[in-house]
Amino acid sequence: MKSLVSISDFKVEDYLNIIQLAAQFEADSYRNVLKGRIISTLFFEPSTRTRLSFESAINRLGGNVIGFADISTTSSTKGESLHDTITMVAAYCDLIVMRHPLEGSARYAAEISPVPVINAGDGANQHPTQTLLDMYSIQKTQGKLENLSIALIGDLKYGRTVHSLIMAMMHFSPHFHLVAPPELQLPKEYIQILREHNIPFTLHEDMQEVIPEADIVYMTRVQKERFSEPMEYERTKNLYVLRNAMLGGAKKNMRILHPLPRVNEINVDVDASPHAYYFEQARNGVFTRQAIISYLLDLQ
Amino acid sequence: MSDIQGRHLIVSAIENGTVIDHIPSNRLFEVISILKLDSIASQITFGSNLESKTLGKKAIIKISDKFFSGDEINKIAIVVPEAKLNIIRNYTVVEKQHVSLPAEITGITRCFNPVCITNHQAITQKFNVVASNPTTLQCVYCEKITDKDNFNLL
């Protein structure tokens, strides 16, 4: 039995298998391979995209969903421990999908659960299905994962999707452009990992200078509450908003990804650009999650 | 013996038991705390700020009639990886032990991350040792690093 808690639980072979399976599900999404099986979706923290795309994936596979989208309707509000909730729910289902605000909750759930656990986000720690759908989107738009120039823009310090994407794409000879205000640049442990693996990377404060180079522009939101100095936020916030006028020099194959929800970091005038890919990326999440569930339950 | 200064023993000898030597003076009380020496019945003598060629100032603990298990010795390794243990029988050193960090540590220190699940629910703390001297631990659950400056011993 295998769970998916952290992107590093999977090896390159697993990434490639998932991407291949996701393509098969995209070609033929409605299949009955989960017929008669029950999947629990336990969302201790609200989520729109992740929960709905998991539930869409399960329904397309012919499985049944039980669970909750709101902690206020559960025994947790009565003080039930995660241990007891997971032990009980595992008795009702074949696989658990869980989002929880506390970091490490998913690893703990996987440790005690007799059925596989998929981490749908544990606080700011890990969100591996997002990374896999990002990889599927990269493969689909570029036709390959290897030797790509990837610009990561915005909050590189706290953005868990950025950290996981770096850890996963590191295996495919990328060149990273790390664009962030100094306060939100990539943490030193990740810089260290890039150095140890001889992955080329460049640090930038100005996003304009990386756009002509990039195959993938991965946007994240710079949040006001991340700044210790409000003045610093005011100074930098407009530097990290992508506008259509900035895309003139971009490569034809360049695609813009964003884990969503977007607030204002991608101007709506980008939406009509052929480079915009974030809504298709969200759609890819359904096929990727179908692939992950099938892979973990060995349904193929 | 290294704890003889001039012609007399600064910390008196024990007949049987364990001597923990080569403790940096500023970590003495962490060792006492981690081994819960404040709650054992044996006779214990301490010395601190003793001259040491390698450490400058060192501390030493002598515990009569006490022999530590492997797990307890591993605990010492977390705070003072340079410590040495001498096992004493009949006033003679019969065995010298170097402490060593195990690959995984369970239930000795808290995770430094305030939003780690282990700090909110009744879950045993578990770490992988990612570096020794100084000891650096990675929480098995939240994957965050707890280093020597942030140990909060249980």
Q: Residue B1: is its pLDDT beyond 50?
A: no
Confidence class for position A5, pLDDT limits 50, 70, 90:
very high
Output Rg (C-alpha) for chain B, integer angstroms. Answer: 17
pLDDT for B7: 54
pLDDT tens-digit readout, B94-132: 999 888 888 888 888 899 999 999 999 999 999 999 987
Contacts of residue A41, defined as CB under 8 A and 6 or more positions apart, other chains included, come to A51, A54, A55, A58, A65, A66, A67, A68, A69, A97, A98, A120
Cβ–Cβ of B115/A6 closer than 8 Å? no
Q: Give the mean model confidence (pLDDT) for residues A21-47.
A: 95
Of A81, A124, A189, which has the smallest distance from its Cβ to B121's Cβ? A81
Q: Which of A50, A141, A220, A288 is catalytic?
A: A50
Taking one residue from A and the other from B, the number of pairs with CB-CB distance under 8 angstroms is 52
What is the rounded CA–CA span in Å between residue B117 and residue A123? 10
Output Rg (C-alpha) for chain A, integer angstroms. Answer: 19
Confidence class for position A51, pLDDT limits 50, 70, 90:
very high
Q: Residue A107: is its pLDDT beyond 60?
A: yes
A78 counts as catalytic: yes
CA distances (Å), origin B121, targets A81, A118, A258:
7, 21, 34
Confidence class for position A129, pLDDT limits 50, 70, 90:
very high
Whether the predicted model's global pTM rises above the 0.80 cut: yes
pLDDT for B9: 66
Q: Give the mean model confidence (pLDDT) for residues A150-172.
A: 94
Query: With a cut of 0.85, is the ipTM above it?
Result: yes
Candidates A5, A102, A163: best to mutate against B (most CBs of B within 10 A) is A102
Q: Residue A300: is its pLDDT beyond 70?
A: no
pLDDT for A259: 93
**What integer best gives the mean pLDDT of chain A?**
94
Q: Is A57 helix (H, G, I), strand (E, B) or coil?
A: helix
Beta bridge partners of A204: A179
Place of tokens 């596989």: A116
- With beta carbons less than 8 A apart as the criterion, state whether B134 and A119 touch: no
Of B120, B142, B145, which has the smallest distance from its Cβ to A125's Cβ? B142
Sign of the Cα pseudo-torsion (A76, A62, A141, A132, in order): positive
- With beta carbons less than 8 A apart as the criterion, state whether B107 and A89 touch: no
Candidates A6, A9, A99, A103: best to mutate against B (most CBs of B within 10 A) is A103
- With beta carbons less than 8 A apart as the criterion, state whether A230 and A248 touch: no
Cβ–Cβ of A82/B117 closer than 8 Å? yes
Place of tokens 């929800």: A261
Q: Which of A128, A145, A137 is nearest to A255 (CA)?
A: A137
Lowest mean pLDDT among A49-63, A242-256, B10-24: B10-24
Contacts of residue A3, defined as CB under 8 A and 6 or more positions apart, other chains included, come to A9, A110, A113, A116, A117, A118, A119, A296
